[in-house]
Amino acid sequence: MSWYYAPRDLDFHVLFKTGKFSKCEVFFGKTECSGTKLDSNNYLGGKKGVEAITVNTIGNFNYSLVVHKYNGKKIEDSNKVDGAPVLLPQEEDATNIPNLDLNKSLAKVSVYAPGLKRAIKELEVPYIITDENYLDKDKDKASQALDWWLAFCIDGKQGLSSLLTANKISSSKPDYAACEKLYDAAAKKP
């Protein structure tokens, strides 16, 4: 996941259920779960690098590839994750980066397959929010902070051939069953 310059911190998450009552979420706060690992984290603005998550062992799970605009405490005030990049004194001051909305960030999620140097699929966050790309149908999108983007779904039972473009903006973290619902809706289309 990459973005152009602002906002300062977008986070890449992969969500999946590993059983009826067990779930995994890989992101800067939990860097590894069930064969899936956060490879890089960036909280200094998009020009400071990508965030990457690798699914080393694909399971029989529905994986949700999600971007979140982090609006929490300043990184300096929070618990740092082992291996996360550190702001070095010689780096430009990242605190002056504008706090753009997620849909104006030019965030892009790219999906790669083992052995390939080019992405098999890329998707940029929708700039204009419509009823079609809005996940929270029961909420008024004009009054919500739209800080979550469900970009892609992957059905682990079928591998990368099942890659589904979700492209849904939301005011809250997508539910772990969001991809299941999208696969069911896609199967019902004539």
Q: Could you tell me if residue 87 is inside a domain?
A: yes
The answer to whether position 135 is within a domain reads yes
Residue with tokens 């909420």: 139
Find the mean pLDDT for residues 133-158: 86
Q: pTM of the prediction? A: 0.86
Domain hosting 184: range is 10-188
Q: What is the Cα–Cα distance from 172 to 180, expressed in whole angstroms?
A: 17
Q: What pLDDT digit, counting tens, does each position of 82-91 carry?
A: 544 444 333 4
* Residue 33, in any domain of the structure: yes
Name the pairing type of β-strands 62-69 and 164-170: unpaired
Distance CA 59, CA 159 (A): 9
C-alpha to C-alpha distance for 1 and 151, rounded to whole angstroms: 10
pLDDT, one tens digit per residue, over 92-106 is 555 678 889 999 999
Total domain count for the chain? 1
Beta bridge mates, 23: 17
**How many residues are listed for the chain in this entry?**
190
Sign of CA dihedral 116, 106, 124, 88: positive
